[in-house]
Amino acid sequence: MRSHWIRVGLFGSVGLGSMLWTEKKSTPVQTNPGKFSANHGDQSPYELKLVQVLFRHGARTPLKSIPDVLEAQWVPNLLEAPAHTQVNYVVTDLSGGPRPPAPVEDSYRANTLTGGTYPGQLTTVGMQQLYDLGERLRKRYIEDMQFLMPEFNPAEVYVRSTNIVRTIESARCLVAGLFHQKQGDTVPILTSEAEDEILYPNYHGCRLLKLLSGHRWTESVQLPDIAADLTMIKGALGIASHQRVDFILIRDDMVARETHGLPCPPVLNTWRSTVEQRAVDMICHIYEPSKRQNLQLCVGPLLNILMVNMEDKVQGASSSQNRKLYLYSVHDTTLMPCLMALGIFDMKWPPYAAEITLELHQHRTTKEAFVKVSYIGQDKLIPGCSGVYCPLKEFKEALSAYSLTSDHYRSLCNQTPED
């Protein structure tokens, strides 16, 4: 069973995540807390009703080391948890039962990096990045806007994560920073069965997505410009021709080293911009943002959940009466297709702890609902929206090409490309 998951997991689990050896990021996230946007308080014509945050985990150990090059020592003390990032939490399934099996995490722990740690593990640096993001959210939603209570309350705050240790721990650290460890209750962090996960493109759980996109990973390495640059960089790094590497793998290891102050092969200094560009070129080929169905299957169910949460709040559904904040701890391979579907992907790999925030507002006079989207603290104008404060109807229409109900998603996943 494990070998199956290592094989398919590399292809599906962390939505291209493992497969793409993705989850790489650049430098610690550079979010300016003062740029979370304007108009709060009673001066604003808008009243905040709901906040949803999709955030990437923090800095981590690489998913795989570049072969045949200067080794980095990934030692256990790089993973020590600062005391201020700790909260009392429990990981459950979506209905509150025991935590499901974690085959993706198991696949990471089948290997060990030089230095003795496992691939893909959140580091002390990453923990602090998420704590810092939590503090920025605290400043906006607790201190400035007084939107949230200053103590964690599970009736007010919902936390969901992929069932992978680095995202679970990232959620914990963000909550610690957001509430300064003040909690009236244990923090429940909800996770899903691996085959049903919709917080990343699930190549294992969605047959049609695998059929549509499986070959595009191989194709992306063989695109003429990418292949030529890859041959050159392998030669410059002294990587044997038979070694299977690509720009996403190289970027992952390079950024992880840089973020933790570990030595990098000096030749990468001259190749850095090329590595960044080609990694993004590859991911764009794999995700095919020009193909509606591919993005639908990557993030359609997640976009639908975000929309349903907002509509429930607008309609006063009893299930959402007290809920004010939804936190989703995810991956770069989640954020990129979401940004593509929203029409705001900037052709840059999302850094560690990058976040997409969706705020639902109600106009104080007209009572009309509006959505405001920000990415890494910068407000974004969504194509199809008449303004940064986008009428909910316009926002729903803008997402309609990609949003999928769970039933529609399952129906599509069971089809073949010829259906």
Task: Just list the catalytic residues.
Answer: 57, 332
Residue 363: Cβ-neighbour burial (10 angstroms; 0-12, 13-18, 19+): middle
Question: Between the CA of residue 43 and those of 1, 47, 357, 363, what are the distances in Å?
Answer: 58, 10, 22, 12
Residue from 366, 365, 360 nearest 314 by CA:
360
Q: What is the CA radius of gyration of the chain?
A: 21
For 247-392, list the strands marked E by DSSP. Answer: 325-330, 355-363, 369-375, 378-380, 390-391
Structure tokens given for 362:
């109600």
Q: What is the DSSP string of 71-89?
A: -----GGGGPPPGGG---E
Answer for the pair 188, 154: CB distance below 8 angstroms, yes or no: yes
Residue from 136, 180, 26 nearest 378 by CA:
136
Q: Which amino acid is at 186?
A: T
Scan for tokens 């009703």, then name that residue.
49
First to last CA, the chain: 30
Question: Between the CA of residue 64 and those of 34, 254, 280, 286, what are the distances in Å?
Answer: 36, 11, 18, 20
Alpha carbons 86 and 320: distance in angstroms, whole number = 28
Angle at 263 between CA 257 and CA 267, to 5 degrees: 100
